[in-house]
Each structure stands twice: as C-alpha cells, then as structure tokens.
Amino acid sequence: MTPDPAARPVRASLTEYLTMARSRLGHMSPAERRVKAAVAGRDTLRYNLTLDLGRMSQDELVLAAMELRGALALLLSVTIPAATPPSTAMNDDDLIAQVFDLISDAAPLHAQMHLHLDRVLSEPLMETLLKGINASRTQGFGKCVEAIGHCGTTTVRITALAAAEGTQ
C-alpha cells in the first residue's frame, strides 16, 4: 500500500499544544494544575518507557511521540512564572505579593521551600512575612536573618540580609 502524497501529518505548533494542554486543566489553582500536570507527565513517561519500540508500527511510534509531546507541553504550560527570584528593585508591596504568590502555590505540595531575599527588609515587611508563614520570630546569623514557618503542608524558610544595626 502506497501512502497518499496528499495525506500529510498535521504538525501543531508548540503554542497550539500549550493551548490544548492548558484547556485540559480547567479552572484549578496554580498548585493543583502543577500537581495534575506532574502526575500526567509521570504516567506518560512511565508508559512510554515500557514501549517495545522495535515492534511498533510507524503510526504507533508517531502516536506515542505525540502523546509524550502533549504531556511535556502540559508540564511546560504550568511552569511557575513567579519562580524567578524576586527583583531587588521591587517595592515592598510588589515583593510581598510575589512572595505570597510563591508560598501559596507551594502550600499544598508537601514541599520544603527556601526563599532568599537579597535585600534588607524593614520591620513591618518582616512582620508581614512572619505572619504569612506562621513563624513566631526571626533568627539572626551572620549577615542574614532567617524565619522558618509553614503554609499549608509546606515548610517555608525565608532568609534576607540583616540591617546594619542587626534587625531581629
């Protein structure tokens, strides 16, 4: 059987794959989307690693590759854009908003989160962060202060530069 020259494979762009992947996630929180994407990616990889590639037809190989690409697009679509370190040029309100976004996204993930802020934090800003992670106090060590608390099922450790007078 000769293939029809007019029959060509449809090559969806990565953007189209991302859109399709995102639509599978519905209206979930960012953390729920990441968990669902990680589970789908893990299951797809587990399945694809057990395939007997030598005995598969071309069509089966193409379908497996498309399924893998879809799972990878799903993972890519839920990457935390806020995972980039907070800029030192941010004002206090923007910094707090970004830090709380990071913490709330990680809250249900049973994770260990360490966030280092490469700037000196004012007392009111530090108090807000302490309340946000349910920490009772900061601890000074060297040129840094540290607060350890929790949010949901995630342990959160925040370090920041200490003020010259030794903010505690």
Residue 148 pLDDT grade (very low, low, confident, very high; cuts 50, 70, 90): very high
Q: 130-144, pLDDT tens digit by residue?
A: 998 999 888 888 888
Sorted by where each begins, the domain ranges of the chain are 14-77, 84-161
Whether residue 138 contacts residue 166, with contact meaning beta carbons closer than 8 Å, is answered with no
- Tell me if 45 sits within 8 A of 65, measured CB to CB: no
**What's the length of the chain?**
168
Give 114-125 pLDDT, tens digit per residue: 888 888 888 888
Number of other residues whose CB lies within 10 A of the CB of residue 102: 20
